[in-house]
Amino acid sequence: MTTTGSVPDDLPTPLRILAQARADVLERAQVDARLVIASRDLEDDTARLRQLREAFARERRDVERLGQVTPTRLWSSLRGRREEDLARESDEADAASAALEECAADVERQREELARLRGRSAALADAETRLELALEVVARGADGLDASHPGAAGAAVRELAARREVREVEEAHAAGKAAHAALVGAYGVVQSADAWSGWDTFGGGGMLSSAIKHDRLDKARAKLQLASEALERFTSELDDLHLPGVKLARFDGLTRGVDILFDNIFTDLAVRSEVKRCRADVEDAIGRVEDVLSSLEERHRALTGQA
């Protein structure tokens, strides 16, 4: 048996294409992992290169000060150590220059390696798509695979379904993380509105504190609208997995004009009650989103076989 890379060449064409697609997906994951490390190393060495350039510039200035008529040279001459100081500073400058040159070469090599890895990653960008297409071909039993390789089609069907489910779970998880961030942002503004509502109600606030309170409420409504939209996107992704979504109750509160123009304990209490209800609703939504995210993570681990 001869092989082309890691793929046996005596396999039926659909299985050979499938094996190559698997190898490409694996390589893409490895390349992307190396890209992360290479990018971090390049960033670290680039920072080190800047430091070495500064160190070399300082050493060179020290040598120049001893070679010119400067207070440094005069003081060194008076001590009778000018030649010794000059030799020491020159050695230090040479060492700094060598370290700078070596680091610059390392940085250049890392840039070339990073460019190579990025190019390879781009070349493998469609590996996942090609793998799914190959699985679809095998799942249909093309080229009489049912006879020559019984069970191949059934295995491809199961793998294809699992891969698509993994993708749906990942998309739902990403939408859930975005919704969670939006809810947390909204909660912070609602907390501020709650604090001002308490002051306006019980702290002797007047029209000014009522206006500030409603400014916070306006900001809270805007944040809650963003959170509601994020939750709708999350719910849409959960629908694909046949899971219940998470909704946020509407928060209208009272109108600004009513509370300011007819400022009294009854309108203040009504607004405060609405803010309290809203805060509880947001807290509840955050908790439910966190629960769903945890279940999605467990499902992803089960599908991918991760510990």
CA–CA separation, 52 vs 44, rounded Å? Answer: 12
Span 215-255, pLDDT tens digits: 777 787 888 889 989 999 999 999 999 999 888 766 554 34
What does the pLDDT read at residue 147? 66
The length of the chain in residues reads: 307
Question: Is the model's pLDDT at 120 over the cut of 70?
Answer: yes
CA–CA separation, 44 vs 36, rounded Å? Answer: 13
23 within 8 A of 15, measured Cβ to Cβ:
no
Q: Which of 82-91, 140-149, 212-221, 227-236 has the highest mean pLDDT?
A: 227-236
Annotated domain spans of the chain: 3-150, 168-304
Name the pTM for this structure.
Answer: 0.63
How far, in Å, are 28, 35, 104, 118, 152 from residue 111 at the CA level?
Answer: 19, 11, 11, 10, 43
Percent of the chain with pLDDT over 70: 73
